[in-house]
Structure 1
Amino acid sequence: MLPHDTIQALARELRQARGTRTPLRHFSARHPGMTIEDGYAIQRAWVALELAAGRTIKGRKIGLTSRAMQLSSQITEPDYAPLMDDMFFAAGGDIPIERFIAPRVEVELAFILNRDLKGPGITVCDVLRATDYVVPAIEIIDARIEQFDRESGRPRKVFDTISDFAANAGIVMGGRPVRPDAVDLRWVGAMLHKNGVIEETGLAAGVLGHPATGVAWLADKIAPYDECLKAGDVVLAGSFTRPTPAAAGDSFHVDYGPLGSVAFRFV
C-alpha cells in the first residue's frame, strides 16, 4: 500500500489536473508497486477533497463491464467511482468543452433507486425491486491521467484509471424513464450518432449479461467499507458501446428506440 502522504498528494494532483485541464503522467509508472487498492485509496482521497469544497455525491458509476474492456485492462471485474453533483448536464443543450481534457462518450442505462441496497449478497432481483425507474444516459469520460503515455505510448493501467474517478467526468440523462419490470433490460438497444453519422450500436446485455448485474456487484463491493447504494442514487450501470471521441462542435444523438433519445452538443 502506498504511504498515506503519497495518496493524499496524488489526489491533490488529480484535482488540480481536472481544474487546469493539464493531464498527468501515469501514476503506475511513478509508483511501480501500485495496486488496485491504492487506486481506490487515491480516489477516496480525491472525493474527500471535493466534498470539503462543497460538492455532493449523487450516485455511482460502474466501468469496465464488458469482457473486452476487462481483458484489455488485465482485470477480472469492473471498477467504480462516485458521480459528483457538478458532473450532471441537461439533455438537449450545449456542454462546454473546456470542462474536459480529452472527452469521449459512452452509451449506458442509469438506475434510479428508491431504497437502499446494502451488501453482501445482493442479487439482480434485489436491484430491480430497489429501482424506481431506469433511464437512458450518456456518460462523458475523460483522462486527467493520460490514456497513453506522452513519450512511450504505453496505455495507462487500471490502477491509474481507478484513481482518476474511473475516468468519469459527466452524465447526461434523458429519453423515457421506464419501470425496471416494464421491459427486458437486456434487449434495450441504442444507436449513437455523432454529427449525424452512426458511430456505435449496442445492446444492454453487453453489460455483464444484464445491466442490473453490475449494480448488484457494486453494492456487494462497497459493503466491506460500510457503504451502500442509497435511495435516490443514480447508478450508471456500464457502457454497452465503445468510447467515441468528442471535440468542440460535435453533436451527439443517441436513439434508444422505445426508450426515446438523448442529445447534446459540445461547444
Structure 2
Amino acid sequence: MALNDKQINALAAAYDEAEATRNLTRAPSCLHPDFSMSDAYKVQSAWVDLRLAKGESIVGHKIGLTSRAMQLAVGIDTPDYGVLTDAMVIDDGAVIAADRFIMPRFEVELGFKLKSGLSGPNVTIFDVLNATDWVIPAIEVIDCRSALVDPETNKPLNVRDSIADNAANGGIIWGGLPMRPDEVDLRLVPGILYKNGKIEETGVSAGVLGHPANGLVWLTRELHKVGASLGAGEFVLGGSFTRPVAGQPGDSIQCDFGSMGQVSCSIARAT
C-alpha cells in the first residue's frame, strides 16, 4: 500500500534533520516494508520542497548508479536520479568544512550544461548532444543520511532508499576545461581520482551506459513518466565512472580528466 502524505512528509523531514544535525535516520524501507519506487520519489520531492522553502533554487539534476562500478559498489542494479540545488555547489579548489557532510565520498563525473530543453519518451543520444552547450568535468560529493547497513536489522540500503535520500547527493564541484560536445570524444574521457596524492580510482567515461550522454537519455525518459522534463540552462551530472572514494578530515581530492583538465577540493582538518 502506498504511503500517505503524512508518512511521506515525515520521512522527508527526517532526512532534512539528519543532514542538518549529521545524525543518521533509519532508511524508509526499514520503517515501511512496502516502501515503493513511487513512494521514494515522493519523499525526494517533499525533501526538495523543504529545501526550496528555505530559499534554495534548483540548478539541475543528477543521475546515479549508471556505471557497473557504481552498481557493484552499492549492490544496486538500476540507475536513479536526484535534484541539484544551488546550495550544493562547491567551488573548484574549495576547502570543505570538516562537519559539512556525514560520510562524504567522491566520484568522477561529466556534467552537461543544457542550452535547450529535453523532453518526451523517444529522446535519443543525438537529441542530448544537440541540446548540450558545454560538457564540464565534475566531482560529485555523495553522502548518505541513513546507514549503509541498518544497525537493527542488518538490512542494506536499496535503490528505493537511495532515491528517497535524493540519490545520495551531497555536493557538486565543477571546473577543469569545459568543452563543446563535438570537441572531445565523450566515450573516452579518462578519470583518475587521487586522494592525498595517491591514485585511488581510475575509469573511462564509456563506463556510464556506454556513453555518458546515454544517462540523459534515460533521465529524460524517466522524467516523462511523471510529467516532467529537463529545461534549458540546467546542469546535469551524468553519473560516475569510478567507484566512490571516502574522504576524511584533512584529505585532499583531485580528479584528472586528461585533456579536459582537473577538478579538486580538500576537507578541512577537524578542530
Fold in common (TM above 0.5): yes
Q: Is the 8 A contact 1:17 1:144 kept in 2?
A: yes
1:175 matched residue in structure 2: 176
- How many angstroms apart in 2 are the aligned matches of 1:33 and 1:60? 27
- 1:154 is displaced (CA, Å) by 3.1
Amino acid paired to 1:6 = Q
Q: Is the 8 A contact 2:65 2:239 kept in 1?
A: yes
Query: Unpaired segments of 5 or more residues in structure 2?
Result: none
Q: What does 1:84-123 correspond to in 2, within 5 Å?
A: 84-123=85-124
Q: Is the 8 A contact 2:70 2:243 kept in 1?
A: no
Q: What does 1:157-236 correspond to in 2, within 5 Å?
A: 157-236=158-237
Count of aligned residue pairs for this structure pair: 267
Q: Is the 8 A contact 1:190 1:202 kept in 2?
A: yes
- How many angstroms apart in 1 are the aligned matches of 2:175 and 2:202? 18
Structure 1 residues 65-104: Cα deviation after superposition (integer angstroms, max 9, x where no partner): 0235446766553100000110000001211121110000
Amino acid paired to 2:30 = A
TM normalised by structure 2 equals: 0.95
1:242 aligns with 2:264: no
Amino acid paired to 1:180 = P
- How many angstroms apart in 2 are the aligned matches of 1:75 and 1:36? 13
- 1:224 is displaced (CA, Å) by 2.8
Query: Unpaired segments of 5 or more residues in structure 1?
Result: none
Q: What SS class does the counterpart of residue 107 from structure 1 fall into?
A: strand
- Specify whether residues 72 and 169 from structure 1 end up closer, same or farther in structure 2 by C-alpha distance, changes over 3 A only: closer
Q: Is the 8 A contact 1:194 1:252 kept in 2?
A: yes
1:258 matched residue in structure 2: 259
- How many angstroms apart in 1 are the aligned matches of 2:87 and 2:73? 30
Moved more, 34-43 or 60-69: 60-69
Amino acid paired to 2:129 = L
Structure 1 residues 169-188: Cα deviation after superposition (integer angstroms, max 9, x where no partner): 10000100011011110000
Amino acid paired to 1:106 = E
- How many angstroms apart in 2 are the aligned matches of 1:195 and 1:152? 36
1:63 matched residue in structure 2: 64
